[in-house]
Chain A
Amino acid sequence: MKPFLYELAEKLYREHPHPENVTVVFPNRRASLYFRKYFSQIIEKPVFSPRLITIEEFISAYSTLQVPDKLELIHRLYKAYRTVTHTEEQFDRFYFWGEMLIRDFDEVDKYMVNAPLLFQDLSNQKELDSRFDFLTPEQLAFLRAFWGNFDGKDGATKNKFLNLWRQLPDVYEEFKKQLKNEGFAYEGLIHREVAEAFASGTIKAESSPHYAPETWFVGFNALTGAEERILTWFVDNTQSKIHWDLDDYYLNNKTQEAGEFFREYQSHAVLGKTFEANAPVNFSLKKNMRVVGAAQPVGQAKIMSQLLEQELADGMIPEETLIVLPDEKLMLPVLHGISASVDKLNVTMGYPLTNTPMFNLIELLIELQTHRRGDFYHHRQVLSLLNHPHVISADPASANEKRKRIQSENWVMVPGSMLRTDHVLQKLIFCEATETSILEYLRQVVEQVGALAQTEAVDKEFAVHFLRFLNRMEDVLGATYSSLKAFLQLFRQLVKTQKIPFTGEPLRGLQVMGVLETRNLDFKNVFILSLNEGSLPSGSGKGSYIPYNIRKAYRLPTVEHQDSIYAYLFYRVMQRAENVYLFYNSETDALGQGEMSRYLQQLLYESGIKPERQVLHNPIHPLEIKPITIPKDQEILEALNRLNEGNVYFKGISPSALNSYLECRLQFYFRYIAKVREPNEVEEDIDARIMGTFLHDVMELFYKRIREKKRSKDIIAGDFDRMEATIDALLDEVFIKKYNLDPTKKVEFEGQRLVVREVVKRFALRILEMDKAYTPFVMEAVEQSGVLYRIKINQSPGYAVVGGKIDRVDSKDGLLRIIDYKTGKDKLDFESVASLFARDGKRNKAAFQTLIYALLYQTNMNPAAINSRISPGLINRLNLFEEATEFGLRLAKAPVKDVKFLLLEFEDRLRKLLEEIFNPETVFDQTTVIETCRICPYKNICYR
């Protein structure tokens, strides 16, 4: 196979031993690189290269005007627009549609359309389209309600809109005038002027620095109006040749849209002569072709890599191989996939700036500043930033230190003073920036990241691009913005379309390209991915203000035009290849878009080629989930013994531990033996657990304060005066402690915390109300911890220590109440003592716990109370708001009047339980009650 460009290079050298006398014009730069490569393979001694330039360079060399970047163009359009319409629209709102408008202007000029006429038609049609006279009042009202900024009748939106259409010609003229005054232009403007100048004879071919006695135009397909005229002029008036890159298959078959433009030029008076008599026949030569369907980008990328790897192992040469990526989303998966099998690869595609870690960093920085309150920073962004790759690589130790501290101290807002330490990058990041200083702030941070020795080269590249970008923003838009939010929005919008060109060593290694870049290049082996509607052909384009019918009438490019171009690109890249692999995504998106590309369908149904077809399908056999059991070895037994010690560190085996053991032995193992604990996270959202702690704390404080003040345990009705105010204050206190708030400031409750506060408050008030009604009574104990109970067991070490913290004990008239506060859905009823030990998932955990407290209290209580009746109970959310509150436990529906009669049996069963725990033979295994797993933190490990 001889590539098209190779053939041309040969021809050029044959005809021109001094090739610098020829200027070769290509559609894009890439083609010239390959052309030069082929050329050097042909020559015998050094020569000056022919001038190899793109059509863009070729045309703009005939103009003195310069094309500024897009941001500048849009901003200038914005200014022109404001001059003409006298509106006060914000730039960020204008941006989107300014972009579209410039595209339209560009096309109008490139296609040499009579602009005033077109704008007139456009304006007429828009007037018709947006005249909502035919809407009934109901319809209008509906639209208005649905979209607040819709206005059908007399409102500003519509008028503004229509005004705009009417004034479009003025905007267009004004814009051009302003640009030209400063020596600027957009491409279309230059193209049109150059084309007209040639036609009117006001410029000469020689006036270009790229001029050479002979000009070749190589590999063009769909010419714009201006290009068509310029090429025609050159063919007519100078030594110029056009070399078309085409194939008989689509040229001479009228149904093939790929040949559409060529057929048109063939009948052109001047261009028609530039076609050779016979079109090359390459496409229908025998090829190895395979079509593979796979789900989604990653699937395609991976199967492609696998096939490529096999081929390379079988001798395929990377330099002769091309991978075409119509969808840039596939770039990363493909890069990861193919790298294993090649040493060098060369990517010719734009890498979206938004996919870089640097973009993510900048977004975070802006968000950090948006959520900042004074010199306090929200933990969310702070943590994200401290975990950001760039920040970590600057100083991993201090970033980690800070993160830990924020989490362990539960800071929601983090003071800047704590963050602005250690590394210079952190000092730059955590300081206040506003809408006037944001640009400088970002620039400093980016610059710092770029300057760090640790930053990897590719990230430094990204940094350079962002710096340039920020510079441009400042140059064009200035340094002050209306708000940080507006800045973020604008920034996002601007960056969205930015790409970093990956252009490397073009001639070595495996080639990876976008579709447009493949023009004029031929490879022996071609892999094309994403052969789906929406990728090839790409979706309906970038949007335009000129509707289809007007486009059609004025011969502006339409969807069909696009489709023909894509069809050409598709067939062309395959025409000289020998091995072709085609991949498509076999899953459509949520709206059913993205089915197999029409071109692939055409190929399958029409070409007569019968490619091998395959679908990627992987067997589904997840690793089997096996039961987890842990036998007790020496180490575990030691851990158990430590639990049993009952000293400052190990406060005995707690009722929760026992509950956990009864619920699931493995859970007990995880939590108390292996010490696999839940992480410490900053919690903004509050779950039931935390709410429980709040309630406990508030109740504890309430009674402790009374006791401290009165130095007495007696509680009387008077103690409840101003109860609500007290609760409010206590709540504040508890929140301050929990969230490390500034105790000198008033606590502000917001969001979820407000709800929690309200709910806890209601609970607390309700409890106190009942307590008040119960007065006078004696508060024997509040949150009493360190109560231990030693029980003999028939297992080494011979005893077990149970310990815990009792919420509350009060007494009145010979009745001791041992009460647990619950915010959960615990119930008062239990069937029997035995039921408390039954592993059926239905046992009453709260009752179990309360009975242990009773046991603890009974063992440790002051002898004076020994004759009291002991009644264990719960205050929970279920009974709290009933009309008649009951909180005593109920055994088989009957209230437990005195727990002493139960404790014997209870103790007995407890002993057996502890014996089981200390029995070296029983293993830690998983519960069979799935319900238990639902709220278990280890359920991911157990696959429950």
Chain B
Amino acid sequence: MTKVFSIYRSSAGSGKTRTLAKEYLKLALEHKGHYFRHILAVTFTNKSTQEMKDRILAYLDDFANGRPNELADELKKELKLDNNTFQERSRDVQREILHNYSQFSISTIDAFFQRVIRSFTRESGLMGDYKLEIDQELVLEEVINDLIDELGSNKELTEWVVEFAKDSLENERAWDVRASLRQFAEQIFREEFKVIEDDIIKETNDHNFFRELRNKLGQVKSNFLAKVSRPAHDALKILQDKGWDITEISYGKNSGVMTFFETFAWQKNIKDIKEPGDRLQNYFTKPEKWPSKTATNPADMVATAEQQLIPLIHQILDIYHTFYKDALSAELVLRNMYVFGLIADISRKLREYKERNNTMLLADAPKFLNGVIADSDTPFIYEKVGSFYRNFLIDEFQDTSGYQWKNFLPLLTNSLDQGNRSIVVGDVKQAVYRWRGGDLKLLQEQVEKQIGKDRVQTLELDTNYRSAAEIIRFNNVLFKNAASLVKDITSGDLPEASFRDVEQKDFKKHEGFVQIQFLQDAEEKSWAEFAMENIPKQLEQLQLMGVKLNDIAILVRKNSEGQQIAASLLQYKNSPFANPACRYDVISNESLRLDGAASVNLLLAAMRYMQFPEDSIARAQLSYEYSRIKGEHIPLNEVFKVANQVFFEANLPPAFAKSKAWLKRLPLFELTETLIDIFGLGTVTGELAYLQAFQELVLEFYSREKNDVGAFLEWWEDNKHKQSLQISGEVDAAQIVTIHKSKGLQFKYVLIPFCSWSMDHDRFNTPLLWVNSTVKPFDEAGHVPIEYSARLKETCFDQFYQEECVRSYLDNLNLLYVGFTRAEHALLVMAPHPKSKGQQGYSVARLLMESIEREESFRQFWDANSLLYKSGTLTATTDQKKSEAATVNLNVYPVARWRDKLVIKQQSASYFDENAIDQQERIRHGLYMHTVLSRIRYTDEIPDMLKAIVQEGLITEDEQPVLQEQLNELLSQPVISNWFSKNWTVKTEVPIILPGGDENRIDRLLIKDKKAIVVDFKTGVHNKSDLQQVKAYVSILRQMNFTEVEGYILYLRDREIVNVNDLKAKPSRKKEDKDQLGLF
């Protein structure tokens, strides 16, 4: 068989995106122009989707126009095409793509699955049009609210929640049930949980399930305690009776004998029972060892020990060894029973929510598809969308989840069976998204098995185009060692296997630089403080060499670290130590947060203040931010004098105090725009980006949720931590990036100042594992949640612990790899000496040190005294970044009140006429008569017209006869009925065009030969201008060669006719203006 399926293992910097683009182009150019629609390329993020599309179009444009291009040469060779054909084909493909753009299928996996499901549900009429919800936190919020509402009426649930609340208290978690539940509930979106969700729902649907399980487990636990405490009590009794002083027993206080018996006699928490030490098991089981030198009656002691105590010890140990494991397992499961219950209830509520709202969560899609496919080889669900594709190109494969892969498999197999090529690209070593469901084992081993070895070829992209030689060399050796160390520690094979392809060839010929520095605690300072102090120094060193600040990145493990670094650099910058020749500006995730901008906070404070004028914190914030933005020097003591209204307002723009009442009436978006205007925020150029992003949120909020300031403020409080700017284009500062976020990026100089994270899970943030066991009675429980801890080694869930432990080590090793491979020119790392404070457990620092120490070839670069590794030379780079598209800036943020400018047609003035605020009156005043009369030509059209205005909602059906009656009455006047007779040619609302852009519209014009009658209907009271207007009409008609012209006004309220024929005419204003309304 031919190798139709290729797996590209692409280590860091090996040109993965190019590989993918090339494969795409190759497939597209191999065939006729429209073939491209059979290729599906799947990328990991939207950003990379966009990049890939742009890249392919740009390549095609180069090819089509015959511009010299390296890739073109490769493709021509591989496709065996001559220049002309190649160019022709390219043009063809380009045109096809541009004009059939929706079939240009490069998308994220989520987007693709959505398309499939959407078409399935639509075509089969299953769900009508379900709504896709992307923000699962929003949903969760509602679900938790539902849940809380159910408390009280649902006893069991109440119990879970109370227990949860108590547990939160005891574990020092924050005390906000709603918030902690929300956080807790997030795990139900994880794939690990989704895999077993259905089983759990099934189990927990049985009402007795919990009670029975709890009883059973309780029995296991109490059995053990009962069994073991009896001999322990006996022993204690004997010891008490004997009345020996503790010093008479060997080792005295440290013997452990008392503790041993006491523990087993009294301890109710099984987890607090430690395995009896060696001394007890092997020393005190020998009678002669019991007495110490000071024993008063050694013989008696030996005898007592031999006859009574040692058998009791044996008895206890026996029970311990036989039952402890189960008892501990039971206890740990019991501790998390409420989790179980809660999760089940939340999951149930979530289902209800989705059903009620006809919603699918984005995160549901893979599982949904999987369920529908149900291991079938030719799933019907792909009939409409998926089976159309012949080639699949999947990027970042190491982060693909089990469900995602299973969903793809049938499509893929199908196309492979027909001999079509497909590829996946990925790097196991860069798998750092396990918490999002990514399963690196797929790439590592399973895919090859599932597709079939004979069809698969594995290719290694083994040249690193990114980093300098020294960095590559260092990483090659370092990670080989590290992986093997991790294997030894965890006794899992996966880490080493994952890193077997770590060795890379270099491409760039310059040398590069690596420095790893281990820091120790000193009396007055911790290692971390030293590291923090070093950061500005390193920035200085680099800058003084000529390195540009924005070529430097500081990689951190967590956002909070970044926050601290940013704060400390700011402090340093304002301190006397700062070097005037250097800069210390950084951009971090935190500094990109919208609530980090003064103007945004000012707006929020102003809104809050307007909602709750007594909120003095809002007042203080408003006053303070405004003083900052104004930049004038007002003493802060004055600024914060906000308790007093007069002082408070004196510090704000006068316009604000003046228009407060009016501002309160503005809808959300207009309010914020107006505030921007009043406070002059549009001129703070450095913050315009924030302002813009903030307004975006406001806009989004009111179109999605509500046009309500209060609701917005509430939403903001809950969501502000998620709102930050996207960096687009260049920033003139060093970047602080988390390692996770740095994946896929590269920087010339990389600092990793706190290389200290733990290889295992953080003690305070341990995950919940869903475990099961075949041991009785746990086998009945199905999947149970249990907290990850080393104690699990002693339970019947030990293999779950083992597995999780290996994974955790690998995750953290991968993070190290991702971090270390970002650098192009230099990598500067600081790590704690493994003996430093806070370095319990096995940390990445220790791994680093041990990997360096044990490597022969590193010896020459490693100074064990100063704990410093250094190789290569540190130089400044001179090469330029490619210039991006030209940029424009906003000079100011333009805002103005549009209502002043807009002219709209107004109907309400007459509707809400002060004299006629109810409908009866409006009818009496002839408002609708006007409408009818001005629209009809002859009397017989009245009934239809009445129907029409009912349709328009002007009057209700009940009011129709009333109006008819009025019209009848009016038309009984002979003059009027003549106007509506068929004697005349009638023009209604007839436009007469005047030269120069004006026009006149006459309500009613009656024509017979050269004779014309003008009739104008009026609803209000008599008005001089009415006369003038009609006179003007008459004069215009005269200009139009009518010899005999008459004009009338009909006042509908008073049913009065005015004849204007005798009066002299003057030119009038246009009639239309009366209908126009300038607002304000």
Contacts and interface: CB of A to CB of B under 8 A. Distances in A.
B6 interface: no
Nearest to A882: B170
B240 interface: no
A744 interface: no
A737 interface: no
Given A149-B355, A360-B707, A302 B893 contact: yes
Nearest to B899: A458
A215 B891 CA distance: 52
Interface stretch (A66-74, A238-246, A808-816): A66-74
8 contacts: A49-B990, A49-B991, A451-B917, A457-B909, A464-B912, A590-B362, A626-B574, A941-B620
Interface string B3-43: 00000000000000000000000000000000000000000
Given A615-B728, A615-B884, A619-B685, A504 B177 contact: no
B193 interface: no
Nearest to B900: A339
Nearest to B571: A627
B319 interface: no
Contact of A359 (B355, B707, B944): B707
Interface in B592-621: 592, 595-599, 601, 611-621
Contact of A305 (B111, B617, B710, B894): B894
B689 A45 contact: no
Contacts of B889: 616-619
Given A457-B1077, A679-B615, A504 B904 contact: yes
B314 interface: no
Contact of A161 (B50, B125, B699): B125
B141 interface: no
Interface in B653-695: 661, 664-667, 669-670, 673, 684-690, 692-693, 695
Given A46-B994, A616-B887, 4 more contacts: A393-B664, A393-B665, A614-B885, A615-B728
A137 to B, nearest CB: 10
Given A340-B896, A679-B615, A598 B178 contact: no
A342 B894 CA distance: 12
Contacts of B175: 687-688, 691, 823
A43 B597 CA distance: 59
B108 to A, nearest CB: 6
A145 interface: yes
Interface stretch (B366-374, B387-395, B469-477, B832-840): B366-374
Given A339-B897, A619-B889, A40 B995 contact: yes
A48 B108 contact: no
A504 B902 contact: yes
B624 A941 contact: yes
A295 B692 contact: yes
Contacts of A628: 636
Contacts of B999: 36, 40, 49
A715 interface: no
A134 B380 CA distance: 9
Given A46-B1036, A618-B692, A622-B687, A601 B904 contact: no
Contact of B371 (A139, A471, A635): A139
Interface stretch (B253-261, B527-535, B948-956, B974-982): B948-956
A143 interface: yes
A627 B573 CA distance: 13
B617 A937 contact: yes
A941 B129 contact: no
A679 B617 contact: yes
A143 B369 CA distance: 10
A210 B618 CA distance: 64
Interface stretch (B148-156, B512-520, B758-766, B873-881): B148-156
Interface in A5-41: 36-37, 39-41
Given A461-B906, A941-B624, A129 B898 contact: no
Nearest to B61: A605
A392 interface: yes
Nearest to A616: B888
Given A750-B152, A755-B161, A298 B692 contact: yes
Nearest to A622: B597
Contacts of A44: 995
Contacts of B673: 336
A145 B351 CA distance: 9
B905 interface: yes
Q: Give the bracket for the number of chain A residues in contact with chain B.
A: 35 or more
A457 B1079 contact: yes
B1009 to A, nearest CB: 15
A298 B699 contact: yes
Nearest to B728: A617
A863 interface: no
Interface string B728-752: 1111100000000000000000000
A881 interface: yes
B172 interface: yes
B696 interface: yes
A187 to B, nearest CB: 14
Contacts of B148: 751-752
A758 B917 contact: no
Given A464-B907, A602-B98, A447 B686 contact: no
Nearest to B1038: A46
- Which 10 A-B residue pairs are closest in the complex by CB-CB distance? A621-B686, A468-B953, A460-B908, A339-B896, A598-B101, A340-B896, A335-B898, A142-B371, A679-B615, A592-B46
Contact of B997 (A41, A142, A453): A41
Nearest to A352: B703
A610 B512 CA distance: 41
Interface string A826-870: 000000000000000000000000000000000000000000000
Nearest to B952: A468
A774 interface: no
B894 A601 contact: no
Interface stretch (A105-113, A221-229, A428-436, A669-677): A669-677
Nearest to B889: A618
Given A46-B992, A752-B178, A941-B624, A592 B108 contact: yes
B661 A396 contact: yes
A798 to B, nearest CB: 25
A404 B614 contact: yes
Contacts of A457: 906, 908-909, 1077, 1079-1080
B152 A754 contact: yes
B95 interface: yes
B973 interface: no
Interface stretch (A381-389, A786-794, A901-909): A381-389
A203 B193 CA distance: 70
A598 B99 CA distance: 7
A295 to B, nearest CB: 7
A440 interface: no
B265 to A, nearest CB: 13
B169 interface: yes
A129 B124 contact: yes
A47 interface: yes
Interface stretch (A169-177, A343-351, A887-895): A343-351
B951 A68 contact: yes
Interface string A48-69: 1100000000000000001011
Interface string B97-121: 0110110000110110010000000
A314 interface: no
Nearest to B111: A591
Given A139-B372, A633-B637, A302 B166 contact: no
B903 A346 contact: yes
B587 A620 contact: yes
A722 interface: no
Interface string B134-172: 100000000000001101100000100110011001101
B665 A392 contact: yes
Given A303-B888, A614-B887, A675-B643, A45 B995 contact: yes
A630 B635 CA distance: 8
A142 B615 CA distance: 52
